[in-house]
Amino acid sequence: MRKLKVLDLFAGGGGFSTGFLQAKENDLRFEIHRALEINDSACDTLRNHIGNARVIQGDITDESIKFEVINSCKDVDVIIGGPPCQTFSLAGPARSGSKEMREKLKDDPRNTLYKHFFELVSLIKPSYVVFENVEGMLSKKTDESNRLNAKQSQVIELVCDELESIGYTTRIEESLTERFQVVNAADLGVPQQRRRIIIFANRFGVDNPRLVSNTSKHRDVKKAIGKLPVRLPKITTNRLENLINIDKILSNYTYCLEVFSGYFRELAENYFDRNEDLVILSKTIETDVQSIKYHNSDKVNHLKDFLERYNRLVQELGINDKDSSDMLISHQSRDHNFRDIIIFILMKEGSNSSKFMNPLSDDYDEFLDELYPYARNKHKDTYVKHSWNKPSNTILAHMEKDGLKFIHPDQPRTFTPYEAQLLQSFPKDYKFFGGRNDQYRQIGNAVPPLLGKVIGEAILKLEFTRKTKIDNMVVNR
């Protein structure tokens, strides 16, 4: 078995590397020779999966780190990676913007990361290079034909020109002009809508492979995470009286309590076969609600006591420990406040706050419109509740902040790190190191392993075809 050696730059939590290790073509495979990453937790994750000796931790701009990479990777066959997208939001203005803009960006360290990427490529000279990045390098807008607009193309052409200037071919098969491709990971089997730019480059002067999209490969959220055990959030009670729009809750006190109680009654019915303790929880909540819902005084303290009893009961019943294992250690919900819990419950599956605040939408809800706690002159789609029967929205590193754009289809919480991991197509037993926020960041920034696998298989097929032709030429001489 022949293995192509891979150098993974900006390796993060190892999504790209994991996909390449899964790829195979006849007797060809990949081995991750080295992975370069600066973040502590991500490096711990990488060490756990590819071994300590293969991980180089450090800053790509550091000359000593660069020397270590070059010295240890002289014979690698493939370099993969994508500099953080901030770099490319600056690359265009740095080249073609106003004088003031160029001066402002000149000393921004993010503006040099891509240069170091290409410097390593030019010095190591691998046979193949794969560059991956976000679709909107300059702007998030695309036209209706799903082609990038002219301003974006300038940045992408800059990348292709750079690769060709150091001896690589970026041309794509079946085209005389295309040098990059935009793919949606969902079309390649990842249970997530995730559009990314991919640039293949090789030193052999041959056309690069085209990744073929197929919407029939779409996997929905339910197939990815639908069989996981129930996880319930702890509901925060600290400073409940200061919660934004708590007055809306208190003026609709009975309604909110009945919404909460009714939700858990339905949850117990739907998930009884997986967690019978949900019935105990549901009945206890219902009894508690009946005893406090008509209190007209001191509602905040009554509500606080009620929520603290809920938290204690969830813990005592061990609901969040059911079916637990080392594999599911990261399958735990972050804490949420009561206002958000009510919003999560009342939102329709597949809807968002922009819809429930729009009187012209079928999803409009007057109470939710009143309860919405954020400024309306900015983003209105702060809350997004996913659908069971569709791929998820793009999993983002922003999940470390609040996760409100990633509300579970029928549990009153946002996605756990483990659910995000599966929606990114990481293996079920893949372990991320660091705290919850570190894990969300690594997962959200990763190349989905399944996308990496498809890219890797395309390179292996190209290499196998190229090597076979060479062997045949030798035989026929």
Residues marked active site are found at 85
**What does the angle CA 218 – CA 220 – CA 224 come to, to the nearest 5 degrees?**
115
Nearest to 87 by CA among 133, 38, 42: 133
Beta-bridge partner residues of 172: 208
Chain mean position to CA 245: 31
Distance CA 333, CA 302 (A): 25
**Under DSSP, is residue 139 helix (H, G, I), strand (E, B) or coil?**
coil
Helix boundaries (H) for 24-74 = 40-50, 63-72
3-class state of residue 386 by DSSP: coil
SS3 (DSSP) at 462: helix
Which regions of 296-451 does DSSP assign to beta strands (E)? 336-337
DSSP 379: -
CA separation, residue 326 to residues 228, 285, 413, 430, 476 (Å): 14, 31, 22, 10, 56
CB 28 within 8 A of CB 460: yes
The torsion angle over the Cα atoms of residues 106, 109, 111 and 117, rounded to 10 degrees, is 130
**Amino acid at the residue 158:** L
- Considering Cα of 215, then 217, then 220, then 221, what sign does the dihedral take? negative
Distance of CA 74 to the CA centre of its chain: 32
Structure tokens at 344: 């999560």
DSSP state of 476: H
Distance separating alpha carbons of residues 360 and 402, to the nearest angstrom: 28
End-to-end Cα separation, the chain, in angstroms: 26
Beta-strand (E) ranges in 289-382?
Answer: 336-337
CA distance 338 to 322: 24
- Using CA atoms, how far apart are residues 476 and 253, in angstroms rounded to an integer? 85
